[in-house]
Chain A
Amino acid sequence: MGNVVTLNGETAQVRDEIVVKDLNLFYKTRRKKGKDAEPHEALRDVNLAVKEGEFLSVVGPSGCGKSTLLYILAGLNKKTSGEVIIGDKQVNGPSQDRGIIMQAYALFPWRSIIKNVEFGLEVKGTPRKQRREIAQSFIDLVGLSGYENKYPYELSGGMKQRIAIARALAYDPDVLLMDEPFAAVDEQTRSFLHEELLNIWEKTHKTIVFVTHSIDEAVFLSDRVAVMTPGPGTIKEIVDINLPRPRHADLKTTEEFGHFRTKVWQLLQSKTDRAVAIEAGNNREIVNEPQDMVI
């Protein structure tokens, strides 16, 4: 439980939406002939609590396990030990209390935009007419009214990601899990999408876990930034970002912003960690557990 000071100066209780306790993950690694396969430690003793309605980012270099952590939260990846609780329930697999947004959009190319957004509602069993209305309202929310009957290939990268966000929001999950969602769009679009995302977040009050390797992005968007270090992946420190909201792009030029950015940067730069990061990035062959094809 965390405390939040309201405008009147009273403290209000805010419950933890996501709790991760002593999470560990080992992968099998492939070795050359004659040597035993040693398990590769991908995540070690990860502990994390995310408050209801909070925007938390996870930053770290490639290979630190930040995306894996997010996929475990989504229920799409297995864990070796530890507990993951979302709402009041243990995570045992994917469920509609969470929505995931991926870097590669993963829109369904054979469905029109509105049918993409309706997918989660179809699973939920929402009647057709209501489905249309809800999907339409989320397309409007992400500012793409008029594109309902287009297909994904007709949209730009930034538009596709907005539709992916609408699709994840439409079935009303409590938690949004975002895996480097803006890594593939250009700088201007990204900056625009940041403000857009904060707008949507303020309107929908979702709890957001946002994985990124961009320090700027993490500081600009978040209430708190969890800094991860690789080999094995652990959360090194969680930095509170005490910047006023609502935030606009010009915030990035202020001194306070620079202060938080430097702080996160320094956490990521300490010498030993860098050496480990390079080692982890270059020399390990990580065999991702093939996700069983679910057909």
Chain B
Amino acid sequence: MEENNGKLRNKIISIVAIVFFFVAWFIAGELELYDTQFVPGLGTVFAEAWHLIQNGVLLECISISVFRIVVGLSFSIVVGIPLGYLLGGFSPKFAAFIKPLLKNLSLVNCFTLIPVFILLFGIGEGSKMGIIFWVLVFPVMFATIQGVEQIDPAIINAARSMGAGKIKIFFDIALPAAATPVFAGVKSAASLGFLVLLSAETVGAKSGLGWLVFNSHANYNVPRLFVGILAVALFGFVFTAVIELAQKRIIVWKEES
């Protein structure tokens, strides 16, 4: 109970800090306590946000960004996890051979690849999801390889000793045994993907939150710029929360050292 009280208290304190920040911003803006030309007051920002909600621009930007990252991340999970199991579980020798190449490929700065993907897939959705997939598939795959390699041999032996065959061992032992590191990989991929998404949307895009921010900047629409910044922050917060919730739902146990 005391532990719970402590957690609750910490939560309340952090919420109070956030509320205090926004209230201070609002009041300072309304009273023009600073030059609101470059940083508009919160009231102005909210008014602009309401305008963008009413004309549907904000919702459209958010939904297209969500669509891109969800598709990109899903593809990288669907490809990265099986590939990680193949390399980590079936053929450790081949994994040792191919890993340096994959490591180097993953180190190619993704921003330099944006033009390449535009050349390959055009300026449409393909290039954006392609770049997100390319950047995210590596952390997912490496985390999976590591997770598979770290499975306690005693646990595999226990399953084998009870007569479990390869299929049962794969689905009932290897999949859950590597779940924690795999999820860690997906989580870091997701936050990385968020960065890549926004920068991809600033180059040759006509929609999305990244486009909203940079287009506002280009048109010197400062309140709209701030709506974009706040929307990105909120989007990132919700996105992480959803992944953490999924993790809590799937991994109900605790690993022991």
Contact = CB atoms under 8 A, between A and B. Distances in A.
Nearest to A164: B158
Interface in A162-220: 167-168, 171
Given A100-B157, A151-B252, A291-B157, 16 more contacts: A74-B161, A76-B160, A99-B162, A104-B154, A106-B157, A108-B158, A109-B256, A110-B179, A110-B252, A110-B253, A122-B172, A123-B163, A123-B164, A153-B256, A293-B89, A295-B166
Contact of A291 (B153, B162, B166, B255): B153
A123 B177 CA distance: 18
Secondary structure at chain A's binding surface: helix, strand, loop or mixed? loop
Contact of A94 (B89, B154, B160): B160
What are the 8 A-B residue pairs with the smallest beta carbon separation, nearest first?
Answer: A295-B89, A106-B158, A120-B162, A110-B176, A153-B254, A106-B154, A100-B161, A96-B163
Nearest to A74: B161
Contacts of A171: 162-163
Nearest to A115: B172
Chain A contact patch, size range: 20 to 34
Interface of B: 85, 89-90, 92, 148, 152-166, 168-170, 172-174, 176-177, 179, 251-256
Interface string A122-145: 111000000000000000000000
Contacts of A123: 162-165, 168
Contacts of B252: 110, 151
A44 interface: no
A185 to B, nearest CB: 15
Contact of B161 (A76, A110, A124, A152): A76
Interface string A274-295: 0000000000000000010111
Contacts of A265: none
